[in-house]
Amino acid sequence: MKIIHTGDWHIGKMVHQVQMIEDQDYILKEFIKLIEEEKPDVVVIAGDLYDRSVPPVVAVDLLDRVFTKILVNLNTPIIAIAGNHDSGDRVGFASQILKNKGLYICGRLGKNIRPIVIKDQYGEVNFYPIPYADPAEVRHVMEDEDIHNHNEAIKSIIDSIKENMNESKRNVLIAHGFVIGGGERDTCESERPLSIGGTEFIDIENFNAFNYTALGHLHGAQKVGCDKVRYSGSLLKYSFSEFKQKKSITIVNLDKNGEVSIELRSLTPNKDMRVIKGKMEDLLNPDVYKDTNVNDYIYVDLTDECEIIEPMSKLRTVYPNVLKLTRNSFNRKIENGRTSLQEDYNNKTMLELFNEFYTNVIGREFTEEKKDVLLKVLKSVEKKEGR
């Protein structure tokens, strides 16, 4: 069976006050082309269809168009769950009617999770969708007062599933959460925390009974311990902390024995999210940007040591989609709110004070050449003031 595993679409997302709906429309059209090419048996979406529990109308319209093309035009069933950004009730609206058309949306957690059965040439594959639910909700639904964190919650749900699960068949789990085990995790700032103080973590051992576990929540495509437990990652970059990530679609091939093989297929967005660093003069030089897409979403780290008037306006003459600008070299933070400038400044000369100021703020040595220039300025000022 061929499964396309995706998730974390976050339709309706805004990044630095910029609406991403056009970018999402573009990448989802590319996604539909991939489905047409790969001809999967099923598309699995592991949560966070929307970015907000009450999505804007344009987001709902876009998801409706995408689902219609996949279901009607490509005749491919979809299994989707709600993530922590979604409203389970809204996402799951009319789910009982829609499943007859091949759209299986699980918005709210129920006590008895029945498998969604998809057939291929080797027989049945059972898909178990677990929508996101916080521990308090799981405690209520499962009637288990011993549930206090996400790991205990998912364990209780899976234990319930395994009571009636036929382990001789191929079984796939779909979930949304923060699973740990088997190496470093590729996380980013656009992933909303599920809880505070480490109670969000879920142990990979919970998924041992399944041939494949399709996860959502983390935006970087990655395996957790082994290839049978994976995050698909998001389709687009949604923060500059993701700028190094390679976004992809996970294609899962499940053989007749339930063994998995994985292929990652990348999709090219119409605008990437990049970080550039340098002096203003260099960044505005055509030789520097001629081979890049200047329409990308850009985070600029200016390294100029001097003051620049309206730097954002200057940058946008070349890079119209600059979203963030920092001047770490110019605005170096002073540790602990204190510097040697605050100590015994009355006993220091103007040159000594400026030397310390320059070293602490700029982080570089105040050269003899700069000292000579400053001395000339100081002498000129003193002369004008009659000192």
Q: Can you tell me the mean pLDDT for 198-218?
A: 91
Percent of the chain with pLDDT over 90: 71
- Express each pLDDT in 23-56 by its tens digit: 999 999 999 999 999 999 999 999 999 999 999 9
| Residue the block writes with tokens 């500059």 | 240
- Express each pLDDT in 285-304 by its tens digit: 999 999 999 999 999 999 98
On the question of pLDDT at 327 being above 90, the answer is: no
On the question of pLDDT at 252 being above 80, the answer is: yes
> Cα–Cα distance between 289 and 317 in angstroms, integer?
12
Opening angle at CA 250, ends 105 and 30, nearest 5: 80
- Express each pLDDT in 213-232 by its tens digit: 999 999 999 999 899 999 99
Reported confidence tier of residue 349, pLDDT bands at 50, 70, 90? confident
On the question of pLDDT at 136 being above 80, the answer is: yes
Please give the helix or strand (H or E) that residue 358 lies within, else none. helix 350-362
On the question of pLDDT at 243 being above 60, the answer is: yes
pLDDT of residue 197: 40
On the question of pLDDT at 270 being above 60, the answer is: yes
Strand partners, 31: none
| Residue the block writes with tokens 């390294």 | 303
pLDDT of residue 339: 46
Q: Domain segments of the chain: what residues? A: 2-265, 273-326, 335-384
Q: Can you tell me the mean pLDDT for 180-198?
A: 56
Q: Which of 245, 206, 198, 231 is nearest to 83 (CA)?
A: 231
Numbers of helices and strands, H then E, in the chain: 11, 19
Secondary structure of 88-126 as H, E, C letters: HHHHCCCHHHHHHHCEEEECCCCCCCCCEEEEECCEEEE
pLDDT of residue 103: 94
Return the beta strands (E) in 268-337 as ranges.
273-278, 297-302, 322-326
Q: Which of 271, 337, 331, 335 is nearest to 301 (CA)?
A: 331
Weakest mean pLDDT among 33-42, 116-125, 191-200, 373-382: 191-200
Between 197 and 136, whose confidence is greater?
A: 136
User: Helix, strand, or coil here: 68?
Assistant: helix
Residues 6+ apart with CB under 8 A from 331: 361
Q: Count the Cβ atoms, other than its own, within 10 Å of residue 140.
A: 14
Mean per-residue pLDDT over the chain, rounded = 88
pLDDT of residue 375: 82
Backbone Cα Rg of the chain: 27
Residue 145 Ramachandran class (φ > 0 left, ψ -120 to 50 alpha, else beta): alpha
On the question of pLDDT at 257 being above 90, the answer is: yes
- What is the identity of the amino acid at 69? K
Which pTM does this prediction carry? 0.81
Strand partners, 116: 127
Record: fold of 2-265: Purple Acid Phosphatase; chain A, domain 2 (3.60.21)
pLDDT of residue 242: 92
344 with 328: CB under 8 angstroms? no
